[in-house]
A and B are shown apart, each in its own frame.
Chain A
Amino acid sequence: MSAGAAESSPPVVSVQQLVVTAKKKQPILRGISLDFPARSLTAVVGPSGCGKTTFVRSLNRMVELTPGLKVEGVVNYLGQNIYDPRVNPVLVRRRIGMVFQRPTVFPMSVFENAAFGLRLIHEAEDEIDAAVEEALQRAGLWDEVRDDLNRPALALSGGQQQRLCIARALAVRPRVLLMDEPTSALDPAATQRVEATMQRLKEEIVIVLVTHNVGQAARVSDRTAFLHSGHLVELGPTADILERPRDPLTQQFITGRFE
């Protein structure tokens, strides 16, 4: 998982000149271009308001849910532009999953939560059982819930709920997982377990992690992208960015002068 080995295969997601503007021509993202190689975890960091959430939501067309935003540019998933008018966003989102800031478990049982995406595509019952178990294992939650999969998901602790959300997203076998500050609502112990899950998952899929916690980026990510005011200021292996930042803005951020 060094940056070198991943670079040799074509990127799973390739962003080219992504521009997002709000009402009244206010720019939120100004021409961002970067690639996400297979089996990597890229941290997206930056001061608040820099556009990192908007960026990540542009990767699975969730940005369209906010009224008034205009998206220009190309986001290629395995060579196909997800913003192609012929592509239905519903299909994009199955391939590129998302985990939100707060755990958003549905008011159903643990099993039904994990099986949600699978039921939409109407998989057979026994396949759903197998897939749910696999997803819960990959999310690192299986051992804690295996004894009673029918208990209500809301009865789980915050950290468990968030891992359930991760399992839920993984159940439909996406190749990319977008995570928007997934641990900011969790206590340190739960955070650590989620980070452990992330480290295991990055060997299998592409993870894009938005975080405001530079320490977290240091712990789990291979490469880091630093955003500022809608620009991609710097991109590179995490160790390089954190220890030898080239751009003064990056340096200011790392050393805490922004936040």
Chain B
Amino acid sequence: MEQTPAPQDPEGREPLPPPSSSGPSAPAGAPRTRPPILRTVGRIVPFIPALVPAAIVAAIVYSLLHAAGFSIALHNWRTWQISLPTNFGWEFFGSNWNPPYSWGIAVFVVGSFLTAVPALLFSMLIGLGIAIASVAYLPRLVTRFLDPFVDLLAGIPSVIYGIWGYLVIAPYFGTVLNPYLYEHLRFVPGLGGTMPPSSGLGLPVGIFLLTLMALPITTLLIRDSLRSVPRDLWESGLALGATRWEAMRRISIPHAKGGIVSAGFLGFGRAFGETVAIAMVLNLVAVYPTNFYGGTATIAAEMFSILDSAYGNSQFLAALSEMALILVVISLAVNVVGRLFISRLSATEIAGL
């Protein structure tokens, strides 16, 4: 700790307290000292709370691994036994999900992408449009009111999206939109085939809800990165005779590339991990959809709805846990990569993402 002698005041008065560094240090100036053990403890203790999130993440991963069959048993100092997670063989990645006989999770993976990717595309396009409108075209007075409105979308609980989707949107899709598409656009691959169910449940509603849920994230990130383009740069573009659109397209958007990429990743992460709303409107069946109107299943939704029936069946639970691990890995990867491109953002809003 303090190896150097305390600096002396030149006129010989009390020794000045040693300068504090940003960390717990020895008591300032006073003659009492703490026993070394307490001092060491005192240095380490403040760091412990910072490890909480990492500890929780580790605990999550470990609990899933354990449920999947992984464990390390120490019999004595020398022998230890590692059981690996239950190996379902290659068919785990197959398409045949039929517990308790077969465990092919491909359906769910495909389903998750099938719902999340279109939702991401829509929410990126719409979010980009809204962000450009907000930054370049609408007066500040209006955007100060409209922007928070869009951000509010993120606060609605997914159950409520689900129930609204189920009671309002799905019937509308089922009775108006889907039959219309089926009638008039039957020739488009994916829009023909079997009649869409009149309940309206299925991919269309699911993608619709996911788009709404990812929208506030994409809009916020793109808008924020467009706003952070230096004013001078933007005005220089206009001073050269560019229209607002041209200045946006040729100057601001290239400058904001990082934020736009982040928006893509984080929006995808949101759509990919969404559980309850999808479970309520997607007409959950563990099969590939035959056309655009069909129902399918996603990893998260299936995990959520089926856990009850798996209670007690350790093989079932292991399969679900391994599915959960795949979900975790994808979500974490998307999240961490997505955040790499964010440079500077307003505090509270992003902390809420």
The contact of B232 among A104, A107, A116, A117, by CB within 8 Å, is: A104
In the assembled complex, how far is the CB of residue B240 from the closest CB belonging to chain A, in whole angstroms?
A: 4
B298-318 at interface with A (beta carbon < 8 Å): none
Q: Which residues of B contact A5 (CB under 8 A)?
A: none
In the complex, B66 has a CB within 8 A of chain A: no
- 6 more contacts with CB within 8 A, not counting A94-B240, A106-B233, are A67-B140, A91-B241, A93-B238, A117-B241, A117-B242, A169-B240
Task: Tell whether B25 is near chain A: CB-to-CB under 8 Å.
Answer: no
Q: Which residue of chain A is the closest to B233 with respect to CB atoms?
A: A104
**Residues of chain B lying within 8 A (CB to CB) of residue A165:** 236
Q: Which of A130-182 contact B (CB under 8 A)?
A: 165, 168-169, 172
Contact A120 B246 (CB under 8 A): yes
B258 to chain A, nearest CB (A): 12
Say which residue of B238, B242, B254 sits within 8 Å of A107 (CB atoms): B254
Q: Which 8 A-B residue pairings sit nearest by Cβ, starting from the closest?
A: A94-B241, A98-B239, A104-B236, A117-B240, A93-B241, A104-B232, A90-B243, A104-B233
A-B contact pairs, 18 of them (CB 8 A): A62-B239, A67-B139, A67-B140, A90-B242, A90-B243, A91-B241, A93-B238, A97-B239, A100-B232, A100-B236, A100-B239, A104-B232, A104-B233, A104-B235, A106-B250, A116-B250, A117-B241, A120-B240
The answer to whether A62 and B240 touch across the interface, beta carbons within 8 angstroms, is: no
The interface size of chain A toward B, counting residues with CB under 8 Å, comes to 23
B232 touching A169, Cβ below 8 Å: no
In the complex the two chains form, what is the Cα distance from A50 to B140 in whole Å? 27
Is B287 on the interface with A (CB-CB < 8 A)?
A: no
* Residues of A contacting B254 in the complex (Cβ-Cβ under 8 angstroms): 107
Q: Max chain A CB contacts within 10 Å: which of B139, B140, B233, B255?
A: B233
Whole-angstrom CA separation of A94 from B246 in the bound complex: 14
Closest B residue to A67 by beta carbon equals B140
Tell me the bound Cα distance from A102 to B242 in angstroms: 20
For residue A126, give the distance in angstroms from its CB to the closest CB of chain B: 21
**Is A224 at the interface (CB under 8 A from chain B)?**
no
A172 to B241 Cα, complex, angstroms: 9
Which A70-110 residues have a C-beta within 8 angstroms of B? 90-91, 93-94, 97-98, 100, 102, 104, 106-107
Q: Which of B236-290 contact A (CB under 8 A)?
A: 236-243, 246, 250-251, 254-255
A residues in contact with B243, CB < 8 Å: 90
Q: Is A60 at the interface (CB under 8 A from chain B)?
A: yes
Q: Does A124 contact B (CB under 8 A)?
A: no
Please measure, in the bound complex, the distance between the C-alpha atom of A202 and the C-alpha atom of B242, giving whole angstroms.
25
- Distance of A117 Cα from B243 Cα, bound (Å): 11
B250 engages A169 (CB within 8 Å): no
Residues facing B in A28-74 (CB within 8 A) are 60, 62, 65, 67
Given the complex, which residues of B lie within 8 Å of A117, measured CB to CB? 240-242
- Alpha-carbon separation in the docked complex, A44 to B236 (Å): 21
Q: Which of B83-127 contact A (CB under 8 A)?
A: none
Which of chain A's residues has its CB closest to B230's CB? Answer: A104
Within the complex, what minimum Cβ distance (angstroms) separates B230 from chain A? Answer: 8
The answer to whether B235 touches A62, judged by C-beta atoms less than 8 angstroms apart, is yes
Q: State whether B139 touches A120 (Cβ < 8 A).
A: no
Nearest-Cβ distance from residue B198 to partner chain A, whole angstroms: 51
Contacting B at CB under 8 A, from A168-204, are 168-169, 172
CB distance from A184 to the nearest CB of B (A): 13
Q: Which chain A positions have C-beta within 8 A of B230?
A: 104
Residues of A within 8 A of B242 (CB): 90, 116-117, 120
In whole angstroms, how far apart are the Cα atoms of A102 and B139 in the complex? 26
The answer to whether B240 touches A100 (Cβ under 8 A) is: no
How distant is A207 from chain B, measured CB to nearest CB, in Å? 15
- Across-interface contacts of A94 in B (CB, < 8 A): 240-241
Contact of A62 with B246 in the complex, beta carbons under 8 Å: no
Q: In the assembly, what is the distance between CA of A67 and CA of B143, in Å?
A: 13
Known: A106-B251, A107-B254. A93 touches B239 (CB 8 A): yes
Contact A97 B232 (CB under 8 A): no
CA distance A60 to B236 in the complex (A): 12
Are B233 and A116 in contact, CB atoms less than 8 angstroms apart?
no
Chain A's nearest CB lies how many Å from the CB of B47? Answer: 41
Q: Which residues of A contact B240 (CB under 8 A)?
A: 93-94, 97, 116-117, 120, 168-169, 172
Check A169 against B239 for contact (C-beta < 8 Å): yes
Cα–Cα distance between A85 and B238 once the two chains are bound (Å): 18
Smallest CB-CB separation from A100: which chain B residue? Answer: B232
CA separation between A116 and B246, bound complex, in Å?
11
